[in-house]
Amino acid sequence: MTTKHAIDPEGTRLPIKLDTTSNGEFAPVALSPANRHANHLAHEAATRNAKRLSLSRRDFLVSACGAASTLLAFNAANAAAVRRGGWFDLEAEAALEPQLAQARLGGKGEFIFDVQGHFVDPAGAWVKNAPADAFKWSPKAGCALAKEPGPRSHLRCLGPEEFVKDVFLDSDTDMMVLSFVPSRPDAEPVTIQAADAVRRIVDRLQGTHRLLVHG
């Protein structure tokens, strides 16, 4: 397998997330039947439209047409559930016409500001007393680095290198505020010193202050 689509090579993840989730402070709320139906329709549309464009599911889903197809499926599911309110103003043809999909959904210079980001320090003092499954609930903790030998290798998926890569190299995020996990001083998953070190690294990427630290 090439590294072109090292993450989700089979195309099982939709480009727009409609899922139950939690920050670990509360039990996640189950998806409504309408939202489950929306995901089902989106997956069906991805398979059908990828074949029509002679693309793999993954290649289709990471395209503008994949995003358009997903949003159109969400529209259909909400309409079927007789939900009144907003919808995605998108032509049906956008699911199969790349130029139209890009015109509708492509970047238009919006400023993307993520107001709360996190990472943990896999080599920090806190690890000595942390349980073996600390932060293993995070979806990101299942990345390829978690398969490497060593205790708590899943924490490497949540470390500063992956954080910088995911946010400032692989996403459209313009600026982020790095926040902290409430904890005792002797059990901090990321210290202010580690956070500031990463802030300085990001500053050197493009000479801009894209990472702010929430003191």
Average pLDDT along the chain, 215 residues, taken 10 residues at a time: 63 86 75 94 96 94 94 94 86 95 82 90 90 86 85 90 90 90 85 92 84 87
- Looking at 53, 74, 106, the residue that finishes a domain is 106
In a shared domain, residues 41 and 82 = yes
In a shared domain, residues 101 and 118 = no
pLDDT at 162: 92
- Strands lying side by side in the sheet with 211-213: 113-117, 175-178, 211-213
In a shared domain, residues 124 and 99 = no
Q: What is the pTM of this model?
A: 0.60
pLDDT at 2: 44
In a shared domain, residues 77 and 132 = no
Strand, helix or coil at 166? helix
In a shared domain, residues 101 and 157 = no
Strand, helix or coil at 4? coil
CB 206 within 8 A of CB 174: no
In a shared domain, residues 91 and 123 = no
Strand, helix or coil at 116? strand
Between CA 31 and CA 38, with CA 33 as vertex, the angle to 5 degrees is 85
In a shared domain, residues 70 and 18 = yes
Distances, alpha carbon 17 to alpha carbons 38, 54, 74, in Å: 11, 24, 11
- Looking at 60, 90, 106, the residue that finishes a domain is 106
In a shared domain, residues 93 and 134 = no
* Structural domains in the chain (count): 2
In a shared domain, residues 18 and 99 = yes
In a shared domain, residues 207 and 129 = yes
In a shared domain, residues 121 and 209 = yes
- Looking at 79, 106, 133, the residue that finishes a domain is 106
Q: Which domain holds residue 184?
A: 113-213
In a shared domain, residues 78 and 137 = no
